[in-house]
Amino acid sequence: MAAAALREQLNALLASMFASGLVDEQFQQLQMLQDDGSTPGFVAEVVTLFCDDADRIISELAALLEQPVVDFDKVDAYVHQLKGSSASIGAQKVKFTCMQFRQLCQDKNRDGCIMALAVVRNEFYDLRNKFQTMLQLEQQIQAQQ
Amino acid sequence: MAVGGGVEVEEGVTRVLLVDDSPVDRRVAQLLLSSASCAGSFHVIAVDSAKKAMEFLGLKDGKEQAIDMVLTDYCMPEMTGYDLLKAVKALNPLKPIPVIVMSSEDEPQRISRCLSAGAEDFIVKPLQSKDVQRLRNCSTGRPNKGSPPCECDAAAKRKPLVLPPSAADASPSGRRANFAGVAMVLHSSRVELSQYFPLLLKLVVLVYAVLCVGELLHRWSSRGGCSLALWCA
């Protein structure tokens, strides 16, 4: 049955996301809460919120790092925000990169920060793609039922 | 953020004012509190700044508080969660609203600062469903008598250890003050700290007391106290 095949695909995707360290137990917890039944669409909602938030922060960071004189306090504040929200939904890889990024901010290392931003951006895009696939699969499974 | 006036809820529902500048964290907290494990127990009002929280609480000035508990993030622009904590406690000193502080940083100094300012608990983010039980235990809506010991221990473990007063005093009256302090420490250690600390503390204090007594006896005897000299002989 199509739904079963879709479910298998979804489970495989989630398993690979965990195995590669893209997401951690926090994400698993949020999924379990959704599966409890009282708050359907929980994960889709927070994932969407996170992606919008992260997109906004990354744009702000890019603008700040392009300035002739970089305001490292502002950069640090944004990275702190991104670290916080990625921790809250369990986006482990992004969170760890943010931790390193913060250290570079504190060292006032401009080139280091620019490189860290590139890494965060790539990791975030990768995560966002996987989240989008995950949400599409969930929607298709819902449609079958 | 829509902020209503009086919040009418059923008996046994805890009204939580959630304060966090991060939209993701706010949503996660809201959803955790409304999940199946605590269905119907919490009514959450979310605001994105401490200023808005104060405005909301200020509306109820003089009247019965519409909020059973404040759950606030520590790091926020303009007004921090710590400032909000102090302001909330100052609102009604006779019956202060419970405040729980959340932070992504697990910093002992920050934690003890908040607890000293009167916070009921300090939760390290990210917020998880197991933290929800701690919220339930801290609200005014529920009596604290039945609260599980692990929750109190969690808060107590983060309190700074009460150390015995230093032995800097030379005078006998100073020593007596130290003994009183030591007795207070013993009492407080029994009440506040977890199982292991009082034992260790009592041991340290006993040794210290023995040393003090020994020194006192030595001084009294060296001053030529007649009856005591027989004891030391």
The CATH number covering residue A27 comes to 1.20.120.160
Backbone angles phi, psi at B47, to 5 degrees: -130, 155
User: C-alpha B1: how far from its chain's center?
Assistant: 30
Predicted local confidence at residue B184, as pLDDT: 57
Which residues, other chains included, contact B61 with Cβ-Cβ below 8 Å and sequence gap of 6+? B91
Please check whether residue B99 lies inside any domain of the structure. Answer: yes
- Find out whether B102 and B72 touch, Cβ atoms under 8 Å: yes
Residue B157 confidence class, pLDDT cut points 50, 70, 90: very low
Please check whether residue B154 lies inside any domain of the structure. Answer: no
Q: Above pLDDT 70, what percent of chain A?
A: 98
**Ordered DSSP codes for A51-102:** HHHHHHHHHHHHHHHHSSS--HHHHHHHHHHHHHHHHHHT-HHHHHHHHHHH
CATH of residue B103: 3.40.50.2300
Please check whether residue B37 lies inside any domain of the structure. Answer: yes
CB A33 to CB B32 under 8 A? yes
Q: What domain count does chain A have?
A: 1
Which residues, other chains included, contact B178 with Cβ-Cβ below 8 Å and sequence gap of 6+? B164, B165, B167, B169, B212
Distance from CA of B104 to the nearest CA of A (A): 7
Predicted local confidence at residue B91, as pLDDT: 85
Distance CA B169, CA B105 (A): 39
Collapse the DSSP code of A139 into the 3-class scheme (helix H, G, I; strand E, B; otherwise coil) and give the result.
helix
Q: Is B193 left (phi over 0), alpha (psi -120 to 50) or beta?
A: beta
Whether the CB of A26 is below 8 Å from some CB of chain B: the reply is: yes
Residue A26 confidence class, pLDDT cut points 50, 70, 90: very high
Q: What domain count does chain B have?
A: 1
CB A39 to CB B35 under 8 A? yes
Distance from CA of A14 to the nearest CA of B (A): 20
pLDDT at A59 > cutoff 90 = yes
Residue carrying structure tokens 């100073």? B174
Q: pLDDT of A125-136, one tens digit each?
A: 999 999 999 999
Predicted local confidence at residue B182, as pLDDT: 57
Return the closest-CA partner of residue B101 out of B116, B115, B87.
Answer: B115
- Structural domain of residue B126, as residue ranges? 13-140
Distance CA A91, CA A111 (A): 25
Among A53, A77, A87, select the one facing B23 at the smallest CB separation.
A53
HEC string of chain B equals CCCCCCCCCCCCCEEEEEECCCHHHHHHHHHHHCCHHHCCCEEEEEECCHHHHHHHHHCCCCCCCCCCEEEEECCCCCCCHHHHHHHHHHHCCCCCCCEEEEECCCCHHHHHHHHHCCCCEEEECCCCHHHHHHHHHHCCCCCCCCCCHHHHHHHHHCCCCCCCCCCCCCCHHHHHHHHHHHHHHHHHHHHHCCCHHHHHHHHHHHHHHHHHHHHHHHHHHHCCCHHHHHHHC
Please check whether residue B28 lies inside any domain of the structure. Answer: yes
What is the mean predicted confidence (pLDDT) over B131-143? 70
Q: pLDDT of B67-103, one tens digit each?
A: 899 999 999 988 999 999 999 999 888 888 999 999 9
Predicted local confidence at residue A33, as pLDDT: 82
Chain B residue numbers with beta carbons less than 8 Å from the beta carbon of A45 are 27, 31
Bridge partners of A124?
none
Angle between helices B23-33 and B129-138 (to 10 degrees): 70
Residue type for A13, please? Answer: L
Whether the CB of B191 is below 8 Å from some CB of chain A: the reply is: no
Whether the CB of A30 is below 8 Å from some CB of chain B: the reply is: yes
Which tokens sit at A131?
């989240």
What is the mean predicted confidence (pLDDT) over A92-111? 95
Please check whether residue B217 lies inside any domain of the structure. Answer: no
Predicted local confidence at residue B181, as pLDDT: 52
Whether the CB of B128 is below 8 Å from some CB of chain A: the reply is: yes
- Find out whether B71 and B102 touch, Cβ atoms under 8 Å: yes
How many CB contacts within 8 angstroms connect chain A with chain B? 68
Distance from CA of A88 to the nearest CA of B (A): 5
Predicted local confidence at residue B218, as pLDDT: 86
Predicted local confidence at residue A142, as pLDDT: 86
For CA atoms B178, B184, B187, B188, the dihedral sign is negative
Residue B38 confidence class, pLDDT cut points 50, 70, 90: low
User: Mean pLDDT over all residues of chain A?
Assistant: 93
Please check whether residue B145 lies inside any domain of the structure. Answer: no
Residue carrying structure tokens 């995560």? A127
Whether the CB of A38 is below 8 Å from some CB of chain B: the reply is: yes
Please check whether residue B161 lies inside any domain of the structure. Answer: no
pLDDT at B65 > cutoff 70 = no
CB A49 to CB B37 under 8 A? no
Please check whether residue B183 lies inside any domain of the structure. Answer: no
